[in-house]
Structure 1
């Protein structure tokens, strides 16, 4: 039986328990094959939408944006990839534009420098710089620079929450994110991140006294690791405590990887939530 969330305290776990409690690759059988499938489908997607790939928004190698156009003057979803801030790339995630594109929503995928080549402060700053660039370029690309919603998965869910404060962002859709970095700082993941307590707190939205007064949808898979489900539930409570617009949902049966099926499909639950966010922030 899974323990209740209030019984989950990472501070009382051994190092091994904490590391395993955060390791999605080990927790989901066949995760390597799932990612390989994403790579193949995303390569096809990039061939179909090849007109505006690798637009440079900054000086570093990964400071690039892919713009997949669905509709002239349409709204734009900015998607931030996951990989615990130290793995993956935007190219792997192009297939997840399929759901939003079906409803005339343009999709942008943003790359960023990975740890240890960049610290978390730098990564967050790169995302903000990418949003600046996108808002400026959208009219020329055919999009509406005033209708941007940001979304992301895993570490990208964290970066979504950090991007919500950007003035050009209207709302956020965070998928299976991390919102308190202290457990990360005390796990195997910090070998490359090199977080100290100050950096962890600066970049943990759970530590902020409030947050942006913008709609944020939070989703997590019901079959995900308990520590990660708790992150999403706790952050939803945090926003509600401060009177900030938030919705919280667990996707039945979904693990850390299969939850992404809900944005890849035009009929997926996350695709529907994204559409609702655009409807709420229209005008």
Structure 2
């Protein structure tokens, strides 16, 4: 009998089991083809909105933001890409602006320095610096700096939770994120991340007493790796324990990659949740 995901304890797994339990590429063999499709569709969308690409917010090569404008004086969603903090780039994810933009939501996609060239502390600081830049530039870009929601997928879900404390962020939408970095620290993923216990704990929202009192929507796919499903469920429980605003749901049948279909579609569940967050601002 398979152990329910909410009863899994990563500490009782062998290193091989833990590595396998966090490896989304192995779990979804067609993931390379899926991501290649994202790249192709994102390139087409970027070609449609060339006016505000690669806006530099910091000194490092990846410190750039793409701003895709949907509506004058409209709200803005800042999207943070995934890749376990060590792979992928903002350019792959432009296609996911399609859903929100259909509802008059401007979308900014942020790049950041990848591990091992940056520590997780530095990556989090870069996201906050990017938000500072965005807030300052939005009036000139044609956006409303008082209505910013942050979102991200996978590692970007983690960075979304870390960005929620920024004073100009009003709410968050975290997709299939990681909120307790201790299992990451003990897995193959730490070769490039270089987490020690202190670095892991101060960047783990699950390890903090309380949190930011801003609305946060959490989603995962019901067909995702059990360890990652538990990350989202446990973090929802953590926020509820401290009386912090949170919603949590699983997308039926979605894996770590197909869940993003719910953001690219104007009628997708994640797009709807994002729209609802903006409606409450």
Q: When the two structures are superposed, what TM-score results if normalisation uses the length of structure 1? A: 0.99
User: Partners of 1:6 and 1:82 in 2: how far apart?
Assistant: 24
The offset of 1:29, in angstroms, is 1.9
In structure 1, the residue matched to 2:110 is 110
State the superposition RMSD in angstroms. 0.6
User: Partners of 1:56 and 1:169 in 2: how far apart?
Assistant: 20
CA contact (8 A) 1:2 1:226 kept: no
Alignment of 1:77-96 (within 5 A): 77-96=77-96
In structure 1, the residue matched to 2:24 is 24
User: Partners of 2:138 and 2:207 in 1: how far apart?
Assistant: 33
In structure 1, the residue matched to 2:57 is 57
User: Partners of 1:156 and 1:2 in 2: how far apart?
Assistant: 29
For residues 2 and 278 of structure 1, do their structure 2 counterparts lie closer, same or farther at Cα, with a shift above 3 Å needed?
A: farther
Alignment of 1:36-55 (within 5 A): 36-55=36-55
Structure 2, unaligned stretches of length 5 or more?
none
In structure 1, the residue matched to 2:209 is 209
The offset of 1:280, in angstroms, is 1.2
User: Partners of 1:64 and 1:83 in 2: how far apart?
Assistant: 17
User: Partners of 2:228 and 2:2 in 1: how far apart?
Assistant: 13
SS class of match (2:212): coil
SS class of match (1:97): helix
SS class of match (2:53): coil
The offset of 1:6, in angstroms, is 4.0
SS class of match (1:133): helix
Deviations 1:12-31 (A, max 9, x none): 00000000000000000211
Count of residues in correspondence between the two structures: 281
Structure 1, unaligned stretches of length 5 or more?
none
User: Partners of 2:223 and 2:6 in 1: how far apart?
Assistant: 18
Detail structure 1 runs of 4+ shifted over 6 Å in the superposition.
none
User: Partners of 2:280 and 2:223 in 1: how far apart?
Assistant: 29
User: Partners of 2:107 and 2:169 in 1: how far apart?
Assistant: 14
Say whether 1:258 aligns with 2:253: no
In structure 1, the residue matched to 2:230 is 230
CA contact (8 A) 1:79 1:110 kept: yes
User: Partners of 2:93 and 2:210 in 1: how far apart?
Assistant: 31
